[in-house]
A and B are shown apart, each in its own frame.
Chain A
Amino acid sequence: MSVVIQSVLTVLGVLIGLLALAAGLTFIERRLLGLFQERYGPNRAGPFGLLQVVADAVKIMTKEDWIAPFSDRFVFFLAPAIMVFATVMPFSVVVFSPAVAVADLNIGLLFFLAMSSLAVYGVALGGWASNSKYSLLGSLRAVGQMVSYEVFMGLSVMGVVVLAGSFSLGEIVRAQSRMWFCIPQLPGLVIFLIAGSAESRRIPFDLPEAEAELVAGFHTEYSGFKFAFFYIGEYLGITLLSTFVVVLFFGGWLGPWLPPILWFLIKLAIVIAFLILVRAALPRLRYDQLMRFGWMVMLPLALLNLLVTGALVLAAGR
């Protein structure tokens, strides 16, 4: 019985922690962008503008929840839910520390890849159900981009799997006790970061919602709480990507002196800050550049990385 209560508490704790983190990220990202761009960002509401999160939440909840009369209502409601569901689920297999983990599945990494592929349905269905040209164009781009970047996202982490000899995230972290995989798997890390940015539609790859071209892309017609779901889903996606970068390449909870969960959070914060820096620094790619880059550069690199890693492990094994 106590096991059930403990696991329920863990699930609730992880879920609430994640949602709080995603909500806080909306504020932290704007402040950090301000820092990198020599301005302030939201700093008026509360101390350091911390209450901006509350203000945004109140604003977005009290906005008119407009449902496009030309939309496909059922799918229109479903899409944001799929989006948040598919980005929250992979956290269930993450081992945050030896004590904090919902379920250390033995195929955890595969579960993550499967779930992150489901997230594309949220975007695709959202754009389709909106029944407007900008949304449709945005979701078309999203599908093309996410399907093609998924291929070498999976391949880029296979080097880690080869080195660790397991799909379980706990095992992968434990295998890094002597050396973090960011050193032997540096190409894998770079490819995973790029593919992950594309998966979570971060700025060099934010074509599905390119403001300058497509108003807001796939969520143009969304408002109120359903828009908040997409918004939260986006920040959960960033957290998800950073979490897996930390787990797969930076040794998860491993680190001296401090408690494991703190190490995990510190690494997570650094990776998230790096992703925000990328957003502050880099411009958006053109669509054909994106596709060419994906298929002509990243895919061969990922394959080569996997080949070399496998060959070295085989040679060392003998």
Chain B
Amino acid sequence: MFSIIRTLWLVFLRAFRPRFTVRYPDERRRLPPRWRGRIILSRDPDGQERCVACYLCAVACPVDCIALQATEDDQGRRYPEFFRINFSRCIFCGFCEEACPTYAIQLTPDFEMAEYRRKDLVYEKEDLLIGGSGKYSGYNFYRVAGVSIGGKDKGEGESELPPVDIRDLMP
């Protein structure tokens, strides 16, 4: 009996407290940089696509919303011929970002991507690709990786030793 009256009183006092609700379209909260929202494809500092079309993101994706096709340019550099994310399937888990070896695919603090038609939620490569390098500004995969592409041979990467002659016995 007493507890009921106390409950009523305490709930009544709640009426004089500030309200928790954020009136969303009128006031927006700051989203942290690592918020998992709309997915983008970034470029390296030289302005070229970071994606090397390794398919790891598509493999990691638990809902199979990423589709891509690898191809190579005349310098031996791999890139995706098309890269398609179906955001009506995407659950924004961020596994693709974790799987990506080149920091190409990244999630951004943006969630306002509602559409009236479902097929408008399928983003192609030109929709996903941004001009900058996203979260990891200085990183350039082909500069640090021991892969030879046109203009850069093996052993010419950053802090990379010349390749070892594996047929030689000398160290």
Contacts and interface: CB of A to CB of B under 8 A. Distances in A.
18 contacts: A34-B19, A36-B11, A36-B12, A36-B14, A38-B14, A38-B19, A38-B20, A38-B21, A39-B20, A40-B23, A43-B23, A277-B11, A278-B8, A280-B11, A281-B8, A282-B4, A282-B7, A282-B8
B15 interface: yes
Nearest to B19: A38
Interface of A: 34-40, 43, 277-278, 280-282
Contacts of A37: 14
A39 B14 CA distance: 10
Interface pairs A-B: 4 shortest CB-CB: A281-B11, A39-B21, A35-B15, A40-B21
Given A36-B15, A38-B14, A277 B20 contact: no
Which of A38, A39, A43, A282 has the most B CB atoms < 10 Å from its CB?
A38
A281 B14 CA distance: 10
Contacts of A35: 14-15
Contacts of B11: 36, 277, 280-281
B133 to A, nearest CB: 40
A277 B9 CA distance: 9
Interface of B: 4, 7-8, 10-12, 14-15, 17-21, 23
Contacts of B17: 38
Contacts of A278: 8
A241 B89 CA distance: 51
A37 B21 CA distance: 10
Given A36-B12, A36-B15, A38-B17, A281 B7 contact: yes
A126 B25 CA distance: 42
Contacts of B19: 34, 38-40
Given A35-B15, A282-B7, A282-B8, 12 more contacts: A35-B14, A36-B12, A36-B14, A37-B14, A38-B19, A38-B20, A43-B23, A277-B11, A277-B12, A281-B7, A281-B10, A281-B11
A273 to B, nearest CB: 10
Nearest to A40: B21
Contacts of B20: 38-39
A86 to B, nearest CB: 29
A26 B11 CA distance: 20
Contacts of A282: 4, 7-8
A72 B97 CA distance: 58
